[in-house]
A and B are shown apart, each in its own frame.
Chain A
């Protein structure tokens, strides 16, 4: 069975950082999706998803990111991904979703003091 998803949400200055604790898959993503869509509903929100601790993901995770991207851009906000691990970065690259959703591979300064 897939590990249940854990994540921390930290509100910063106009940016909300969401740090995910493990791999994101179709069968564990729903709590995270609900939380991200909720954030996206506030107009102008900048969502930053920290993927440092996400070794793997499947197409359900990609679908989640596209859903959140569509919702947040519709309300004038933005979605950005930081620190994807190699396999996740590769999936985002193969699917060309890195063209849709901005990704920072080295985003130490973006994490509002929460980054190492």
Chain B
């Protein structure tokens, strides 16, 4: 293969069995099938070594500030890279492959590591002296390899703490451990819809939660906030999300899904625990959004970055308080509309002078990031950091944001 020219490699006529990228991927699959999470990084490099390249896997921490290298035996992987101040971080924020400007020999390629569109981190790909690095297909093949590695990292994460540990900068509270096990990935997109969420404080979460699921041409989305703090509230949120999932799996609608939480709470808790929540169901072909607002701050419809409506109909009591009220709100979205939902920890964050973060500031910032062309997960990363920066000390309450966009254009922004 080493005598193949780049044209040979790019040509469909070349012998695919002998194609080095194919061999590397076949070898990677063989090496990782039975690999522990802590063996993954070395297995990746063993598989790509014949290509003459070396890969360092960086994972984003839960606070989405630093990219941490996954430790690898016998290799100096260096320290974490700040998202806001490095080329790696720029590649992460924009979900785009980046390399240092021409002229810098041996500059690595920074390739986003995503599972679907869930931003897991960054790959540092060093290819100095590699036979494949000059080929026309180098970047597209790295992209394909990165897509596979994103899935592999996500799958292996479940089997031991090594990769999960890399993403943490401190010990998690029991409530946070419970919640993160339960919540879906922060971001999902298909070709006509994106949903993303963020939750702080990520290591000491309490009663906030979010969920989404796509099924049968609809996207179901929830934001919720259970009364109280800490594990007690977290258990309430775990019960609420689980009750909703059971109902949705049984194809129940918004009303019955809300009632399922009422039943679970009434049966399980004697302390009148309840959760405010918005349950939304977006019909993906038409943009029709149906919703139930169970005593939660109304989510806002953003059109071209500006507020164009609120989800303040479909009102019922908070989930967990027996309420047979049957009203469902409905609104037709226009292509490109975003829905921004939040919990009160966002707007009620106070600075040293007691000033609230407030909805107006939230909407101003959301508009700014939207108009600057930031993707949904990047918009939320910045909004969440703005809330934390506003606070005087550690967050007294959970602050959760959920941003959905009904658009055929957004998925492409989220792919490398």
The residues of B that contact A94 with a CB separation of less than 8 Å are 295-297
Question: Once the chains bind, are B317 and A62 in contact (CB under 8 Å)?
Answer: no
Bound Cα distance from A58 to B343, whole angstroms: 13
The residues of B that contact A100 with a CB separation of less than 8 Å are 317, 321
9 CB contacts below 8 A, A to B, read: A59-B227, A60-B228, A62-B274, A66-B272, A70-B272, A95-B295, A96-B317, A96-B318, A100-B317
Within 8 A of A (CB), among B216-244: 225, 227-229
B276 on the A face (CB < 8 A): yes
B259 on the A face (CB < 8 A): no
A26-B229, A60-B227, A62-B227 in contact; A95/B272 too (CB < 8 A)? no
A63 on the B face (CB < 8 A): yes
Give A64 Cβ to nearest chain B Cβ, in Å.
8
Give A38 Cβ to nearest chain B Cβ, in Å.
16
Within 8 A of B (CB), among A45-100: 58-60, 62-63, 66-67, 70, 94-97, 99-100
What is A's interface to B at a CB cutoff of 8 Å?
Answer: 26, 58-60, 62-63, 66-67, 70, 94-97, 99-100
Chain B residue with minimal CB distance to A58?
A: B397
Bound Cα distance from A54 to B313, whole angstroms: 28
Chain A residue with minimal CB distance to B232?
A: A26
B315 on the A face (CB < 8 A): yes
B105 on the A face (CB < 8 A): no
B273 on the A face (CB < 8 A): yes
The contact of B317 among A59, A70, A99, by CB within 8 Å, is A99
Question: Once the chains bind, are A63 and B273 in contact (CB under 8 Å)?
Answer: yes
B338 on the A face (CB < 8 A): no
Bound Cα distance from A87 to B396, whole angstroms: 18
Within 8 A of A (CB), among B296-329: 296-297, 315-318, 321
The residues of A that contact B397 with a CB separation of less than 8 Å are 58
Bound Cα distance from A52 to B82, whole angstroms: 49
The residues of B that contact A99 with a CB separation of less than 8 Å are 317
B271 on the A face (CB < 8 A): yes
The contact of A59 among B225, B271, B316, B321, by CB within 8 Å, is B225
Give B360 Cβ to nearest chain A Cβ, in Å.
15
The residues of A that contact B315 with a CB separation of less than 8 Å are 96
Chain B residue with minimal CB distance to A68?
A: B272
Interface size band for B: 20 to 34
The residues of A that contact B321 with a CB separation of less than 8 Å are 66, 100
Question: Once the chains bind, are A63 and B274 in contact (CB under 8 Å)?
Answer: yes
What is B's interface to A at a CB cutoff of 8 Å?
Answer: 225, 227-229, 271-274, 276, 294-297, 315-318, 321, 344, 397
Bound Cα distance from A86 to B297, whole angstroms: 16
Bound Cα distance from A48 to B295, whole angstroms: 23
A59-B225, A60-B228, A63-B272 in contact; A96/B316 too (CB < 8 A)? yes
Bound Cα distance from A99 to B317, whole angstroms: 8
Bound Cα distance from A62 to B296, whole angstroms: 13
Bound Cα distance from A62 to B229, whole angstroms: 13
Bound Cα distance from A99 to B324, whole angstroms: 13
Bound Cα distance from A58 to B227, whole angstroms: 9
Closest A-B pairs by Cβ, 4 of them:
A95-B295, A67-B272, A59-B227, A66-B272
Question: Once the chains bind, are A97 and B272 in contact (CB under 8 Å)?
Answer: no
Question: Once the chains bind, are A59 and B295 in contact (CB under 8 Å)?
Answer: no
Question: Once the chains bind, are B228 and A95 in contact (CB under 8 Å)?
Answer: no
Bound Cα distance from A46 to B271, whole angstroms: 21
Bound Cα distance from A70 to B271, whole angstroms: 10
Chain A residue with minimal CB distance to B293?
A: A96
The contact of A63 among B271, B294, B316, B317, by CB within 8 Å, is B271
Give B350 Cβ to nearest chain A Cβ, in Å.
11
Bound Cα distance from A59 to B274, whole angstroms: 9
Question: Once the chains bind, are A96 and B295 in contact (CB under 8 Å)?
Answer: yes
Chain A residue with minimal CB distance to B225?
A: A59
Bound Cα distance from A62 to B317, whole angstroms: 12
Most central of A58, A70, A96, A97 by chain B CB within 10 Å: A96
Give A60 Cβ to nearest chain B Cβ, in Å.
6
Question: Once the chains bind, are B318 and A67 in contact (CB under 8 Å)?
Answer: no
A97-B317, A97-B318 in contact; A63/B228 too (CB < 8 A)? yes
Give B289 Cβ to nearest chain A Cβ, in Å.
20
Give A57 Cβ to nearest chain B Cβ, in Å.
12
Chain A residue with minimal CB distance to B312?
A: A94
Bound Cα distance from A66 to B272, whole angstroms: 6
Chain A residue with minimal CB distance to B229?
A: A26
The residues of B that contact A58 with a CB separation of less than 8 Å are 397
Chain A residue with minimal CB distance to B320?
A: A66
Chain B residue with minimal CB distance to A64?
A: B272
Bound Cα distance from A96 to B227, whole angstroms: 15
Bound Cα distance from A16 to B400, whole angstroms: 39
A96-B295, A96-B318, A100-B321 in contact; A26/B228 too (CB < 8 A)? yes
